[in-house]
Amino acid sequence: MKIRDNDKFIENCRYLGLKKLPLNYQYVIEKANKSDIGFYRFIEEVIQMEADDKMERGIKYRIKSSRLPQPYKLLQDFDFSFQPGLKKKLIMDLATMDFISRKTSILLYGDVGTGKSHLARSLGVIACEKGIKVYYTTCADMLNDLNTGVYEKTLVKRMRKYVNPQLLVIDEMGHDRLYPNKNKIQTFFQKD
């Protein structure tokens, strides 16, 4: 490619929203020249490379916007032998995310330290990987946020973040003590 054609090629790739090809097109062309693949296979590989990249970016975006705490908890890291009473098959069924299409709520309950948070956060990561919009919060944070919304008259706007995701993970229900946001209450009751 001539330099001028090269610039136009990269500009067209960006216009089409292609992220990977403008960075790797030299390698892709060299690979095609060295192999005996046909034109269809060559185009198929380029499209697959872009699709894989877009999927990966989507997963990263969904995980970041989900507010899942880091380090991310993964299902394969959960020690099922630590909780012999836990039915692994049930958790693996939940990991298919079929309960979301059935609009079924899931409640993980048990004693403190039994792995409920790990499992809930793991399911959140799996949902993000499957293209599902997730939002993570603790019960105390959600209630404090909604209470703040009442005081600031922004409740409807604040509720959207809890209603819009396909999977809402509310962690630490009954675990945290709920304290009102003293700054907001003080501001609300302050005399002019």
Strand-pair partners of 134: 167
Q: Which residue has the higher pLDDT, 89 or 192?
A: 89
Give the tens place of pLDDT for each residue, 106-130.
998 888 888 899 999 999 999 999 9
User: Within its chain, how far is the Cα of 115 from the centroid?
Assistant: 20
Same domain, 54 and 148: no
Same domain, 155 and 61: no
CATH number at residue 86: 3.40.50.300
Same domain, 181 and 86: yes
The range of the structural domain enclosing residue 46 comes to 3-66
Question: Looking at the chain, how many residues does it have?
Answer: 192
pTM: 0.75
Same domain, 38 and 112: no
Show which of 66, 85, 120 is a domain's final residue: 66
Is residue 123 within 8 A of residue 75, CB to CB? The reply is yes
Same domain, 32 and 103: no
Q: How confident is the model at residue 43 (pLDDT cuts 50, 70, 90)?
A: confident
Same domain, 106 and 160: yes
pLDDT surpasses 50 at 190: no
